[in-house]
Amino acid sequence: MSERVPVVVGIETSCDETGVGIVQGDTLLANVIASSMDQHARFGGVVPEVAARAHLEALPQVMDDALKQAGLDRADIDAVAVTSGPGLAGALMVGVGWAKGLAQSLDVPFYAVNHLVGHVGVELLSSEGRQLDTPTVALLVSGGHTSLLLVRDIVDDVEGVGDTIDDAAGEAFDKVGRLLGLPYPGGPQIDRVAKDGDPTRYTFPRGLTQAKDQDKHRFNFSFSGLKTAVARWWEANGDPTDHQMVADVAASFQEAVVDVLVTKALDACEYHGVPRLVLGGGVSANSRLREVALARGAERNIDVRIPPLALCTDNGAMIASLASEMLRRGRPATSMSVAATSTLSPSVTQAGVDEGAIHTAQKSTTDHSNDSVSVTDDDVSALAGKEDTLRKVRTPWTPLLSLLFGVLAVALSPAFGLGMIPAVLGIISGHRARKHPRGRVQSAMGLTLSYFALAVSIAVAVVVATPIIRALLISGGFLLP
């Protein structure tokens, strides 16, 4: 008798969508999304605390709706997957905590996966007519991300090849939308009004496309200069009652964003010798982006694949789909000690693996409270050069230094106050190292010894210096013997 293909639930809470998807193998059974977008509208952008609270309130209902849509019961769930990063720290924490609780209560494996790689996971859903051919480049564009990924293998070999150095593309759409007096979110509104506009009416800058940028930022993006250029132009010339002007500015701005996104994505495909491109993220709903990507892709013999809208924006199905592939390949589950990581690198598809499973070596992390994560040796080598994540696995030498200075200070403290120098150094390094999770004991000892030696050194210095000063004052005639 053949074994049943596992049913995987995917939970997504990295930004303002609460998504629960249910997948069995490469078949989508349910995809339910609730959005807290309305609650952010009056602020003109996503407010992290509001998003986190909204996830907490929405999750039980979204989960029930997804189970109902799939015609399943909680007892049918074989594994639970969740986005553990990148995204908004508080919002991620709600999903990760909730998913851990669910997995534990059902006694099923738990998978913490990467949000960006999850977007590519949509392509594994053959029930939706999708097909993942690798290698592929992925352009992921949303309110929080503008990333180019090179996917050689969706589980084992994903590399971030480009990112925004300032605003995300969706963020730029939202900010320019607000400037033009359009409702939030600006992206769909600009898309709508731009249909009546002339995209060649105004020429706005294309960030990081000049020859001087090609060395360092060939596949990186920048939208803050464009946003500022539109703002300056609008301040000087803008008339919100002139609908044609609004349409022309919207169309010209949109053209600049689309031009840069498509050009860089297709250039990345050619540079890496990859004949295909997958689009994902809320901005890939943009009609002009779709049109230009497909047309220019065809011109350059690059197969551009754009998932349907419900699978483009943040959703739980993509998370379930990625975890389903991991299960199919027999990957070990994620350790329950894994934490949400707002800056998770795209090269870490799974954010932590059970101890005692394939990868046993766990690297300890600095105490960034909600920003910490356990990473494996493999993860660390895969991350070489990714500064943000490597900062978390730094070797703790400062606590030892503090202890060393403390001992030296005590040894030198009787010697005419000489111990003061190492004592001060011991105090400085001790305070710097105090919060290091692996150096608390050493730095506490270093600090105690250093403070003690400082006090002794000062006392010795005073005792030694008093008779000398007294003698000098007497010989100078300032004091009677």
Q: How far is the CB of 11 from ligand ADP (least distance, A)?
A: 15
* One residue of 7, 9, 11, 15 binding Mg ion per CB under 5 A: 15
Q: From the list ligand ADP, Mg ion, none, which binds 167 (C-beta under 5 to 8 Å, kind-based)?
A: none
The site map against ligand ADP for 48-87 (x = CB under 6 A) is: ----------------------------------------
Q: From the list Mg ion, ligand ADP, none, which binds 116 (C-beta under 5 to 8 Å, kind-based)?
A: none
Minimum CB distance to ligand ADP smaller for 210 or for 228: 228
Minimum CB distance to Mg ion smaller for 56 or for 409: 56
* One residue of 170, 197, 307, 316 binding ligand ADP per CB under 6 A: 170
Minimum CB distance to ligand ADP smaller for 178 or for 201: 178
* One residue of 9, 10, 16, 278 binding ligand ADP per CB under 6 A: 16
Q: How many residues are there in the chain?
A: 481
Beta bridge partners of 331: none
Q: 3-class secondary structure for the chain?
A: CCCCCCEEEEEECCCCEEEEEEEECCEEEEEEEEECHHHHHCCCCCCHHHHHHHHHHHHHHHHHHHHHHHCCCHHHCCEEEEEEECCCHHHHHHHHHHHHHHHHHHCCCEEEEEHHHHHHHHHHCHHHCCCCCCCEEEEEECCCCEEEEEEEECCCEEEEEEEECCCCHHHHHHHHHHHCCCCCCHHHHHHHHHCCCCCCCCCCCCCCCCHHHHHHHCCCECCHHHHHHHHHHHHHHCCCCCHHHHHHHHHHHHHHHHHHHHHHHHHHHHHCCCCEEEEECHHHHCHHHHHHHHHHHHHCCCEEECCCHHHHCCCHHHHHHHHHHHHHCCCCCCCCCCCCCCCCCCCCCECCCCCCCCCCCEECCCCCHHHCCCEEHHHHHHCCCCHHHHHHHCCCCHHHHHHHHHHHHHHHCCCCCCCHHHHHHHHHHHHHHCCCCCCHHHHHHHHHHHHHHHHHHHHHHHHHHHHHHHHHHHHCCCCCC
Binders of ligand ADP among residues 181 to 200 (CB under 6 A) are: 185-188, 191
Contact between 163 and ligand ADP per CB under 6 A = no
Contact between 16 and Mg ion per CB under 5 A = yes
Binders of ligand ADP among residues 267 to 286 (CB under 6 A) are: 281-283, 285-286
Q: From the list ligand ADP, Mg ion, none, which binds 191 (C-beta under 5 to 8 Å, kind-based)?
A: ligand ADP
Instruction: Name the one range near ligand ADP by CB under 6 A: 58-66, 137-145, 219-227, 397-405.
Output: 137-145
CA distances to 81, 179, 278 from 31, rounded to whole Å, are 14, 34, 20
Contact between 313 and ligand ADP per CB under 6 A = yes
Contact between 342 and ligand ADP per CB under 6 A = no
Minimum CB distance to ligand ADP smaller for 121 or for 281: 281
Contact between 460 and Mg ion per CB under 5 A = no
Q: From the list Mg ion, ligand ADP, none, which binds 174 (C-beta under 5 to 8 Å, kind-based)?
A: ligand ADP
Minimum CB distance to ligand ADP smaller for 89 or for 447: 89
Q: From the list Mg ion, ligand ADP, none, which binds 121 (C-beta under 5 to 8 Å, kind-based)?
A: none
Q: How far is the CB of 185 from Mg ion (least distance, A)?
A: 8
Count the residues of the shown chain that bind ligand ADP, applying the rule CB under 6 A: 21
Contact between 253 and ligand ADP per CB under 6 A = no
Binders of ligand ADP among residues 201 to 240 (CB under 6 A) are: none
The strands making up 157-163's β-sheet, listed across from edge to edge, are: 157-163, 146-153, 136-141, 276-280, 303-305
Q: From the list ligand ADP, Mg ion, none, which binds 419 (C-beta under 5 to 8 Å, kind-based)?
A: none
Minimum CB distance to ligand ADP smaller for 194 or for 401: 194
Which residue is at the shortest CB distance from ligand ADP?
A: 282
Taking Cα atoms as reference points, which of 16, 311, 17, 284 lies closest to residue 139?
284
Give the CA diameter of the chain. 109
Contact between 19 and ligand ADP per CB under 6 A = no
Minimum CB distance to ligand ADP smaller for 67 or for 261: 261
Residues near ligand ADP (CB under 6 A) are 15-17, 142-144, 170, 173-174, 185-188, 191, 281-283, 285-286, 313-314
Residues near Mg ion (CB under 5 A) are 15-17
